[in-house]
Each structure stands twice: as C-alpha cells, then as structure tokens.
Amino acid sequence: MNIVNLIISLLSGAVGGNAAGAVMKDKSLGVLGNSISGILGGGIGGAILQALGFGGTSGLDLGSILSNIVSGGVGGGILMAIIAAVKGMMGKKT
C-alpha cells in the first residue's frame, strides 16, 4: 500500500465513520469520535482488504481509487459502530 492509497483510505474512513454516526444517531460518538474511529477503521480496513487481494492495485487508476474509497468508508463505518456498541455495553454495566 503506497502513501496515496493510505491517505485515500484514511479520508474515506473518516467520512464513513461520520456517515455511520449520522445514520445511527443513538450510537454517534460525536464528530471527533466518529472521525477518529473512522480514520482507524479506514486504515485497517483498507490494509486488510488490500492484503486479501480485494483492495485493488497500488496505483492511481480509477479502480484502485474507488476500491480504496469503498474499503476505507466501509471499514470506518464498521469500526465506528463496533466502538459505539462497546461503549454502550460498558455504560450499561453500572
């Protein structure tokens, strides 16, 4: 994974985390929390999918950019939802 693909995955992860927070208002971590969890999820999701061969090539062609956007956005949204669910379960144990 080169630096351009990583940046695309991180940015789309932040967007994916905030989009997931907007859809699930009760699970939202706030803009900063959604962005941070989305960035982490985007980077991790993009790296995992590229390692599995689903992330496209490491070039700057349209297919590679789109696959990085999709994998980063989905990874960011998934990690934001997981963190929100864990946070919700931890709050209920009182």
Measured CA distances, 81 to 52, 58, 73, 91, 92 (Å): 23, 28, 12, 15, 17
pLDDT tens for each residue of 30-72: 999 999 998 998 888 878 877 887 765 666 778 878 888 888 8
pLDDT digits (tens, 9 = 90+) for 78-94: 888 898 889 888 877 65
pLDDT score, position 59: 65
The average pLDDT across 4-13 equals 87
CA 14 to chain centre: 6
pTM of the model: 0.81
- Residue 85 amino acid letter: A
